[in-house]
């Protein structure tokens, strides 16, 4: 469980990135943090594995104050997958890349081998085992980055902008994979501005603006609230825009899923026909 208490953070250059954030994420939750570039989303999640320490206030991960422990220690529980895999890939083979963190955490060779096999399998990377990560395509690199974090099986997984540069199929696979991880009991936190992706995942959604949380709730409620969405400089999902436009016909406002939308419209059109 992650508890953020009255968190303030100011960067060395004087910019106050977080102004009093209070947040509580239970084990097994699936949370999306959205907001404009510069709202403080990445700054906030960097506090969760100790990369940044609060200027004021505190962050507790499973009861441990992040100011008291090293990043390496927190990282065991909280895996953070960075936005750009090119910022971490450096090994000669994919196998070594995935072993890196495991070695840092001091696992024995036998366990390392097991976990590497498992991670390669999970993300369909077995055929790239002996290949240099620099030879892979963008999508494959992202999978290697994810695999290298999953390898040490953290209970909380944070993904920073996982959908950037991904095509439709890759996003679909990612979405299904994340949902699967969540079903297995992992706490998932996704930082993103991809509103359609969030609409498809339907997680608890948090909106941030200028270092503060301005909303927290179900995706259906938050992403269909035009005022909130505008304030956070996020876009309305396409289906939400559609139903806003069809308001006068009495459709419910909190619809973001295309299948649910189709169902509602179908029923209305059929009912209309029957009346005739």
Q: With beta carbons less than 8 A apart as the criterion, state whether 47 and 7 touch.
A: yes
Q: With beta carbons less than 8 A apart as the criterion, state whether 170 and 139 touch.
A: yes
Q: Which two tokens stand for residue 89?
A: 């890939």
Instruction: Mark the segment that binds other proteins (CB under 8 A) among 18-26, 206-214, 215-223, 237-245.
Output: 237-245
Q: Which two tokens stand for residue 271?
A: 């009912």
Instruction: Mark the segment that binds other proteins (CB under 8 A) among 21-29, 110-118, 121-129, 228-236.
Output: 228-236
Cβ distance to other proteins smaller for residue 20 or 77: 77
Closest CA to 37 of 194, 172, 196, 216: 194
Residue 21 CB, nearest distance to other proteins (Å)? 19
Cβ distance to other proteins smaller for residue 20 or 246: 246
Residue 269 CB, nearest distance to other proteins (Å)? 6
Q: What angle do CA 77, 82, 83 make, to 5 degrees?
A: 150
- The answer for residues whose C-beta is within 8 angstroms of residue 237's C-beta and 6 or more apart is 195, 196, 198, 199, 223, 224, 256
Q: What angle do CA 171, 176, 179 make, to 5 degrees?
A: 125
Contact status: 11 vs other proteins (CB under 8 A):
no
Q: With beta carbons less than 8 A apart as the criterion, state whether 247 and 253 touch.
A: yes
Cβ distance to other proteins smaller for residue 183 or 269: 269
Instruction: Mark the segment that binds other proteins (CB under 8 A) among 3-11, 61-69, 108-116, 268-276.
Output: 268-276
Contact status: 252 vs other proteins (CB under 8 A):
no
Query: 3-state DSSP call for residue 178?
Result: helix
Q: With beta carbons less than 8 A apart as the criterion, state whether 14 and 22 touch.
A: no
Instruction: Mark the segment that binds other proteins (CB under 8 A) among 20-28, 166-174, 179-187, 210-218.
Output: 166-174
Closest CA to 147 of 135, 164, 159: 159
Q: Which of 25, 44, 61, 75 binds other proteins (CB under 8 A)?
A: 75
Q: Which of 13, 14, 37, 108 binds other proteins (CB under 8 A)?
A: 37
Q: Find the binding residues for other proteins in span 109-148 (CB under 8 A).
A: 134, 137-139, 148
CA–CA gap between residue 144 and residue 123 (Å, rounded): 8
Q: Which two tokens stand for residue 54?
A: 């609060």
Contacting residues toward other proteins, per CB under 8 A: 36-38, 46, 49, 51, 70-72, 75-76, 79-80, 82, 84, 86-90, 100-101, 104-105, 134, 137-139, 148-149, 152, 164-172, 193-196, 233-235, 237-239, 241-242, 245-246, 249, 258-259, 261-262, 265-266, 268-270, 272
């Amino acid at each position: 469980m992650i508890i953020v208490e009255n968190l303030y953070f100011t960067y060395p250059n004087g910019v106050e990135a977080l102004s009093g954030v209070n947040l509580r994420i239970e084990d097994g939750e699936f949370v999306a943090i959205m907001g404009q570039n510069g709202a403080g989303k990445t700054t906030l999640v960097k506090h969760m594995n100790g990369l940044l320490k609060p200027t004021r206030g505190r962050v507790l991960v499973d009861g441990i104050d992040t100011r008291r422990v090293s990043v390496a220690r927190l990282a065991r529980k909280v895996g953070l997958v960075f936005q750009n895999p090119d910022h971490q890939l450096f090994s000669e083979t994919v196998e070594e890349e995935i072993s890196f963190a495991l070695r840092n955490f001091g696992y024995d060779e036998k366990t390392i081998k097991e976990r590497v096999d498992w991670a390669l399998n999970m993300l369909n990377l077995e055929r790239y085992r002996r290949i240099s990560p620099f030879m892979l395509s963008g999508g494959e690199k992202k999978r290697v980055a994810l695999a290298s974090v999953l390898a040490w099986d953290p209970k909380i997984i944070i993904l920073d902008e996982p959908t950037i540069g991904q095509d439709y199929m890759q996003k679909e696979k990612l979405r299904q994979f994340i949902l699967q991880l969540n079903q297995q009991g992992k706490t998932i936190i996704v930082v993103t501005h991809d509103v359609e992706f969030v609409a498809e995942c339907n997680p608890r959604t948090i909106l941030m603006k200028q270092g503060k949380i301005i909303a927290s709730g179900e995706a259906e409620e938050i992403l269909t609230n035009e005022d909130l969405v505008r304030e956070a400089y996020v876009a309305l999902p396409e289906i939400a825009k559609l139903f806003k436009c069809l308001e006068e016909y009495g459709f419910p406002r909190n619809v973001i899923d295309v299948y649910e939308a189709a169902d509602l419209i179908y029923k209305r059109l059929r009912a209309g026909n029957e009346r005739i």
